[in-house]
Amino acid sequence: MRVIAGTVRGTILKAGRGLGIRPTSDRVKEAIFNILGERVLNAVFLDLFAGTGALAIEALSREAARATLVEFSRSGIEIIKHNLNATSLAERAEIAAVDVFGYIKKAANRGEKFDIIAADPPYDRNIREEVEEISLAKRTLLAISENDIMRNGSILFIEHSVFEELMHKGALEALSTRKYGSTAVSFFRKK
């Protein structure tokens, strides 16, 4: 796993496999950032279920103004710290060692707004979700739509299983879903 582009391009990041962390593949990460394009420049970036911090680090390398990385796992937080220090991007990053859903509510109460929100909640790439069960991806989409943490025109993207379809009405407009093997990435924009 490496930084694809920007000021720290080519830096190898610690992956932390086997610790319950499933990092975004370089192929998927590159595709996401190609879609985001110039939106990343000077953006305020929020990385939910940050894992290794790879998505926020990629944004910072591509000149995002700052990033907040939300991760509850102690092992994930240690990997994020290592990767931020290895890339010398720590001064533009904040780590929130809290539950994602609690963070979203508190950020909304504080009036925080983000330009780009990334969410990569845990999911099994090869198993279909039970229809009755609400996945972490769907819970995240619902929480963000119910809590005002996006500016008008801001982008949210959520990684999820290709077997799951994310659709939402309300404050968020579905833009597209891209599939990369067993991973899907759905993009939404605040109306």
In a domain, 144, yes or no: yes
CATH number of the domain where residue 156 is located? 3.40.50.150
- How many independent structural domains does the chain possess? 1
In a domain, 20, yes or no: no
In a domain, 169, yes or no: yes
In a domain, 13, yes or no: no
Q: What is the pLDDT along the chain (191 residues), one digit of tens a residue?
A: 888 998 999 888 888 765 556 667 788 999 999 999 999 999 999 999 999 999 999 999 999 999 999 999 999 999 999 999 999 999 999 999 999 999 999 999 999 999 999 999 987 655 555 544 678 999 999 999 999 999 999 999 999 989 888 887 678 999 999 999 989 999 999 98
| 100 close to 48: Cβ distance less than 8 angstroms | yes
Query: Looking at residue 132, what is its pLDDT?
Result: 45
Task: For residue 174, count CB atoms less than 10 angstroms from its CB and return exposed for 0-12, middle for 13-18, buried for 19 or more.
Answer: middle
Give me the domain span that covers residue 54. Answer: 26-190
CA distance 138 to 96: 22
- The length of the chain is 191
Query: Looking at residue 188, what is its pLDDT?
Result: 96
CA distance 140 to 145: 9
In a domain, 19, yes or no: no
In a domain, 12, yes or no: no
Query: Looking at residue 104, what is its pLDDT?
Result: 98
Query: Looking at residue 40, what is its pLDDT?
Result: 97
In a domain, 34, yes or no: yes
Query: Looking at residue 18, what is its pLDDT?
Result: 55
CA distance 62 to 43: 10
In a domain, 4, yes or no: no
